């Protein structure tokens, strides 16, 4: 039995209602741990005063420079003593999850046992960067908890100006829309940058994220410095049986309004079967005995909408790979930036393919380390220096897929134009 | 030689997920054909070999005590097949290899207080941050605001009655760790930082703090004989960027740190290209423990979207069709001058056309 609870009328109000309550969970932990009794005391104070009371510091594990988020209480009395002394230190261990966040109950129970022994007993599955967050350990216990987690096969994630923990979608393990082996790519890439994760020495954070298709379930385009998004080059695959089943259930109105009309590039046409015009870049799928969809794959931008609506009846092609985008981030300091295309397509099937992805990541991180200002993300750096300088430094050939339109202003010095044209022609000949 | 006894870390990095995969996932890896949803909260995947797997999705509180996790493990062992996974929105999924296990599993989850849903056209669990529980710079709490809002939206989590999926996020400061979402709830400070000049010299690397300001409003100054920093309050946009590198520049204000609501963020490439969210409401009080004013605005927006959007329209697609004037009309939210962008690149957000809906 732990010491007596502090009154928590504000937090108590979060125990009612149907959604699972973290307060009820904390109170359960507080039955055995003075640590959590005092944590609830401080949290209740925050609810009352509407102020936060944690400050950072320097806590780590032996051999690493990052991965622990230190928290010391600032809620002190006039003599400078913590008002809730048992929770004066409340550090978090960021631990990298398995790709796709798959677990079995055996490993989850072991994680719980370790954290019950050495920490608060509070675990978040998962933080916004994808870490399992083991929340609440004293400075003394951080190393003990890490040692056991590490022996179980887990490792710390990133914090500070470092390569960060990554995420990948459920992908090939369960999703028919998967366009590459997300888990293997994720693990191969991240485990090639462990030094940059564990010993922060970059200008600022650098995030990789891996989504298996353009639905981008990992939100990589808006959050990752380097987003790897699955796609395909050949024709959309079709299945008449599933298409007929879909059409029988949903009918013509839904087909026209939800599928044909919502194609962003009008690549899909509804036709009578007798009028279909098959071709090398055309996919067709019958809906019944008289009508079919005809898709001009050269016009398709691989947005996924029709495939999402008619899953199985329409499916990504077979010549799969990924598009790589660079520079996504949120707000600070210059405003939101989406990642933009740096590699329109690369295969990701073999170890050699994945090695090329690692090399690309290494080149980008090296350039970032050399050229970004302190606290500047890749997107901000590219905004400052221009994408062409970035691409030339990385020796990545330019491609019209990288722009939404050519420039709309004449403010550029162009006396190298003829040389560039000659270079492009020479490159085309080689290819 | 204390150091000689320290254990050296095994730099193992990302663990191999193969030992954790459900056997059907391992057997059909990369070979799935299609999926459907027999009911809200359940995904049914079929592979090219005819193998089938059912995934039952349930909501969690994300910040879980070990007893909650063990309870979920007990359910997975007794009613599923001991393999689970988590989604990006902190939902847990239980996999089973036969359809007859689905209903008892759902009943057991619901009996233990884990709502089943969050699939398809539902309002899924809110992506959120740490807040007062653990962050060093929070303007508000995260878990509490999320709990309060999900209590009100649980019927929309359990059903699939929205025009398309709805992703929500909350963030405790303008850094927005919660991320882009169809509807995002983010602290918006309205007053410049309050500076404790006694501490700045010892705590803050002053040139780095000056460099952090997006509007160059911070300059070094001597205050009461001590080296400190001062803020040009006419320039200051109250973003709070100076606060993390310099905690004596307190930006959080119990009264004046308000909430803003943003809509229309979409990361998927489906239909339109990915979009950033736009601010549509502000000045909402930070009112723990249940933040009723925030919930009211979110529900107002959701109700208008649910009533008016066509099937497959995400919130951004809906606004694209009806236009911003009708969005504000239908949601009843006031459109003020503060919602007109004047940051860099702002002119692309102005209406450079005669396209007006009457």
Contacts of A63 in chain B (CB under 8 A): 6, 8-9
A159: in domain: no
Same structural domain, A220 and A329: yes
Question: Do A98 and B17 make contact, defined as CB atoms within 8 angstroms?
Answer: yes
The tens digit of pLDDT for each residue in A170-215 reads 999 999 999 999 999 999 999 999 999 999 999 999 999 999 999 9
Same structural domain, A344 and A385: yes
Same structural domain, A18 and A86: yes
Measured CA to CA, the distance from residue A305 to residue A260 in angstroms comes to: 10
pLDDT-above-70 percentage for chain A: 100
Segments forming the whole domain that contains residue A275: 237-315
Q: Residue B324 — pLDDT band, cuts 50, 70, 90? A: very high
Same structural domain, A190 and A299: no
B348: in domain: no
Residue B35's CATH number? 3.30.70.3340
Question: Do B179 and A330 make contact, defined as CB atoms within 8 angstroms?
Answer: yes
Same structural domain, B259 and B166: yes
Question: Do A125 and B62 make contact, defined as CB atoms within 8 angstroms?
Answer: yes
Best of B4, B125, B128, B134 to substitute, by most chain A Cβ atoms within 10 angstroms, is B134
Q: Residue A41 — pLDDT band, cuts 50, 70, 90? A: very high
Tell me how far apart the terminal alpha carbons of chain B are, to the nearest angstrom.
Answer: 80
The tens digit of pLDDT for each residue in A308-359 reads 999 999 999 999 999 999 999 988 788 899 999 999 999 999 999 999 999 9
The tens digit of pLDDT for each residue in B274-295 reads 999 999 999 999 999 999 999 9
| pLDDT score of A153 | 98
| pLDDT score of B4 | 59
A326: in domain: yes
A209: in domain: yes
Give the count of domains, chain A.
3
Greatest alpha-carbon span in chain B: 80
**Contact yes or no for A285/A313 (Cβ under 8 A):** yes
Question: Do B269 and A313 make contact, defined as CB atoms within 8 angstroms?
Answer: no
Same structural domain, A18 and A117: yes
Residues 6+ apart with CB under 8 A from A156: A61, A64, A66, A67, A68, A93, A94, A95, A96, A146, A197, A198, B9
The tens digit of pLDDT for each residue in B168-218 reads 999 999 999 999 999 999 999 999 999 999 999 999 999 999 999 999 999
Best of B6, B18, B66 to substitute, by most chain A Cβ atoms within 10 angstroms, is B66
Measured CA to CA, the distance from residue B261 to residue B283 in angstroms comes to: 9
Same structural domain, B230 and B258: no
Measured CA to CA, the distance from residue B67 to residue A5 in angstroms comes to: 19
Give the count of domains, chain B.
3
Residue A391's CATH number? 3.30.413.10
Residue with tokens 């205050």: B223
| pLDDT score of A270 | 98
Residue B285's CATH number? 3.30.413.10
B357: in domain: no
Q: Which of B8, B69, B289 sits opposite A47 (nearest CB)?
A: B289
Same structural domain, A17 and A114: yes
User: Could you tell me the two tokens for A399?
Assistant: 């491609």
Same structural domain, B239 and B259: no
Helix orientation angle between B292-308 and B143-158, rounded to the nearest 10 degrees: 30
Measured CA to CA, the distance from residue A290 to residue A255 in angstroms comes to: 14
| Closest-approach residue (CA) in chain A for B138 | A52
Best of B132, B159, B165 to substitute, by most chain A Cβ atoms within 10 angstroms, is B132
Give the ranges where A62-201 is alpha helix by DSSP (H): 105-118, 139-151, 182-190, 194-198
B118: in domain: no
Contacts of A170 in chain B (CB under 8 A): 85, 87
The tens digit of pLDDT for each residue in B120-156 reads 999 999 999 999 999 999 999 999 999 999 999 999 9
**Contact yes or no for A96/B14 (Cβ under 8 A):** yes
The tens digit of pLDDT for each residue in A120-156 reads 999 999 999 999 999 999 999 999 999 999 999 999 9
A161: in domain: no
ipTM score of the complex?
A: 0.96
Measured CA to CA, the distance from residue A180 to residue A358 in angstroms comes to: 15
Boundary-marking domain end, from B82, B111, B140: B111
| pLDDT score of B237 | 96
Q: Is A296 helix (H, G, I), strand (E, B) or coil?
A: strand
Question: Do A13 and B36 make contact, defined as CB atoms within 8 angstroms?
Answer: no
**Contact yes or no for B296/B290 (Cβ under 8 A):** no
Question: Do B179 and A154 make contact, defined as CB atoms within 8 angstroms?
Answer: no
Same structural domain, A175 and A94: no
| pLDDT score of B3 | 54
Segments forming the whole domain that contains residue B312: 131-190+254-343
DSSP classification of residue A86: G
Q: Which of A19, A219, A262 sits opposite B115 (nearest CB)?
A: A19
| Cα A197 → chain centroid | 16
Q: Residue B1 — pLDDT band, cuts 50, 70, 90? A: very low
A205: in domain: yes
Measured CA to CA, the distance from residue A360 to residue B198 in angstroms comes to: 47
**Contact yes or no for A313/A243 (Cβ under 8 A):** yes
The tens digit of pLDDT for each residue in A215-234 reads 999 999 999 999 999 999 99
Does B326 score more than 50 pLDDT?
yes
| pLDDT score of A227 | 98
Average pLDDT, chain B: 96
**Contact yes or no for B85/B140 (Cβ under 8 A):** no
Boundary-marking domain end, from B205, B230, B249: B249
Residue A89's CATH number? 3.30.70.2500
Residue A248's CATH number? 3.30.70.20
Residue B218's CATH number? 3.30.70.20
Best of A15, A22, A238 to substitute, by most chain B Cβ atoms within 10 angstroms, is A22
Measured CA to CA, the distance from residue B69 to residue B75 in angstroms comes to: 10
pLDDT-above-90 percentage for chain A: 97
B338, β-bridge pairs? none
CB atoms within 10 A of CB A221: 27
Question: Do B90 and A125 make contact, defined as CB atoms within 8 angstroms?
Answer: yes
Contacts of A304 in chain B (CB under 8 A): 268-270
Same structural domain, A196 and A329: yes
Measured CA to CA, the distance from residue B48 to residue B34 in angstroms comes to: 9
A294, β-bridge pairs? A269, A284
CB atoms within 10 A of CB A227: 30
Does A108 score more than 50 pLDDT?
yes
| Closest-approach residue (CA) in chain B for A339 | B274
Same structural domain, A137 and A22: yes
Same structural domain, B314 and B332: yes
Question: Do B267 and A220 make contact, defined as CB atoms within 8 angstroms?
Answer: yes
| Cα A11 → chain centroid | 32
C-alpha Rg value of chain A to the nearest Å: 26
A270, β-bridge pairs? A293
Same structural domain, B307 and B338: yes
Same structural domain, B74 and B171: no
Question: Do A20 and B134 make contact, defined as CB atoms within 8 angstroms?
Answer: no
**Pairing outcome for strands A291-296 and A268-272:** antiparallel
| Closest-approach residue (CA) in chain B for A107 | B20
Q: Is the dihedral of CA A74, A205, B12, B61 positive or negative?
A: positive
B53: in domain: yes
Q: Which of B67, B131, B151 sits opposite A18 (nearest CB)?
A: B151
Q: Residue B60 — pLDDT band, cuts 50, 70, 90? A: very high
User: How many CA atoms are closer than 13 Å to the CA of A245, on its beta-carbon side?
Assistant: 13
Q: Which helix (H) or strand (E) holds B35?
A: strand B32-39
Residues 6+ apart with CB under 8 A from A312: A176, A239, A242, B33, B34, B35, B46
| pLDDT score of A431 | 75
What global pTM score does this model have? Answer: 0.96
| Three-class HEC string of A24-73 | HHHHHHHCCCHHHHHHHHHHHHHHHHCCCCEECCCCCCCCCCCCEECCEE
Contacts of B145 in chain A (CB under 8 A): none
Measured CA to CA, the distance from residue B74 to residue A30 in angstroms comes to: 22
């Amino acid at each position: 039995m732990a010491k007596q609870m502090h009154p928590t009328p504000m937090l108590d109000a979060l125990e009612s209602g149907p959604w699972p309550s973290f307060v009820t969970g904390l109170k359960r932990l507080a039955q055995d741990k003075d640590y959590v009794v005092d944590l609830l005391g401080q949290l209740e104070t925050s609810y009352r005063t509407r102020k936060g009371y944690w400050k950072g510091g320097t806590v780590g594990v032996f051999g690493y420079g990052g991965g622990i988020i230190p928290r010391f209480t600032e809620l002190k009395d006039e003599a400078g003593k913590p008002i809730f002394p048992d929770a004066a230190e409340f550090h978090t261990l960021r631990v990298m999850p398995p790709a796709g966040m798959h677990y079995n109950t055996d490993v989850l129970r072991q994680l719980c046992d370790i954290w019950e022994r050495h920490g608060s007993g509070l675990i978040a599955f998962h933080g916004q960067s994808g870490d399992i967050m083991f929340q609440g350990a004293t400075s003394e216990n951080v190393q003990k908890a890490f040692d056991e987690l590490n022996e179980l096969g887990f490792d710390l994630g990133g914090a500070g100006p470092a390569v960060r923990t990554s995420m990948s979608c459920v992908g090939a393990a369960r999703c028919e829309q998967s366009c590459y082996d997300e888990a293997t790519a994720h693990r191969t890439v991240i485990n090639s940058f462990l030094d940059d994760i564990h010993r922060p020495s970059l200008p600022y954070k650098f995030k990789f994220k891996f989504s298996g298709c353009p639905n981008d379930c990992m939100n990589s385009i808006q959050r990752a410095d380097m987003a790897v998004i699955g796609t395909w080059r050949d024709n959309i695959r079709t299945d008449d049986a599933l298409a007929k089943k879909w059409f029988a259930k949903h009918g013509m109105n839904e087909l026209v309004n939800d599928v044909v009309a919502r194609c962003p590039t009008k690549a899909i046409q509804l036709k009578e079967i007798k009028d279909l015009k098959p071709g090398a870049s055309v996919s067709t799928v019958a809906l019944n005995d008289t009508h079919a969809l005809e898709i001009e794959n050269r016009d398709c931008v691989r947005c996924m909408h029709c495939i999402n609506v008619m899953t199985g009846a329409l499916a990504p092609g077979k010549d799969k790979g990924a598009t790589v985008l660079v520079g996504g981030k949120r707000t600070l300091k210059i405003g939101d930036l989406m990642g933009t295309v740096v590699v329109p397509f690369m295969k990701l099937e073999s170890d050699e393919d994945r090695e090329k992805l690692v090399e690309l990541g290494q080149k980008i991180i090296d350039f970032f380390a050399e050229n970004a200002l302190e606290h500047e993300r890749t997107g901000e750096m590219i905004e400052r220096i221009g994408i062409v300088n970035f691409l030339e430094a990385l020796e990545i050939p330019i491609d019209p897929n990288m722009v939404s339109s050519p420039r709309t202003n004449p403010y550029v010095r162009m006396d190298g134009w003829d040389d560039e044209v000659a270079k492009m022609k020479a490159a085309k000949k080689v290819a | 030689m204390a150091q000689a006894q320290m254990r050296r870390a095994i730099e193992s990095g990302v663990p191999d997920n193969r030992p954790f995969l459900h056997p059907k996932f391992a057997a059909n890896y990369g070979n799935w054909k299609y999926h459907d949803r027999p009911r809200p909260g359940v995904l049914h995947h079929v592979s090219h070999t005819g193998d089938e797997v059912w995934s039952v999705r349930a909501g969690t509180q994300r910040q879980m005590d070990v007893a909650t996790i063990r309870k979920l493990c007990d359910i997975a062992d007794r009613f599923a097949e001991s393999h689970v996974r988590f989604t990006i929105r902190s939902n847990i999924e239980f996999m089973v290899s036969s359809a007859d296990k689905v209903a008892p599993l759902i009943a057991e989850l619901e009996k233990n207080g884990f709502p089943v849903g969050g699939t398809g056209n539902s309002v899924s669990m809110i992506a959120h941050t740490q807040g007062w529980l653990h962050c060093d710079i929070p303007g508000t709490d995260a878990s509490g605001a999320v709990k309060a809002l999900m209590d009100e939206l649980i019927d929309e989590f359990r059903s699939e009655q929205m025009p398309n999926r709805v992703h929500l996020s909350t963030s405790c400061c303008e850094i927005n760790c919660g991320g882009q979402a169809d509807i995002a709830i983010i602290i918006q400070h309205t007053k410049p930082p309050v500076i404790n000049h006694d501490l700045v010299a010892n705590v803050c690397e002053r040139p780095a703090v000056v460099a952090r300001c997006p509007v160059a409003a911070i300059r070094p100054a001597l205050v009461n004989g001590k080296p400190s920093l001062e803020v040009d309050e006419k320039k200051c946009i109250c973003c709070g960027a100076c606060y993390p590198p310099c905690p004596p520049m307190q930006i959080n204000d119990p009264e004046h740190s308000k909430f803003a609501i943003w809509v229309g963020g979409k990361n998927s490439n489906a239909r339109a290209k990915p979009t950033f969210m736009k601010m549509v409401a502000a000045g909402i009080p930070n009112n723990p423990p249940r933040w009723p004013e925030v919930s009211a605005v979110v529900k107002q927006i959701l109700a208008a979207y649910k009533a008016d959007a066509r099937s497959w329209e995400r919130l951004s697609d809906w606004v694209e069709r009806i236009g911003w004037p009708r969005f504000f009309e239908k949601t009843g939210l006031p459109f003020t001058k503060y919602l007109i962008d004047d940051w860099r690149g702002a002119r692309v957000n102005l209406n450079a056309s005669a396209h007006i809906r009457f």
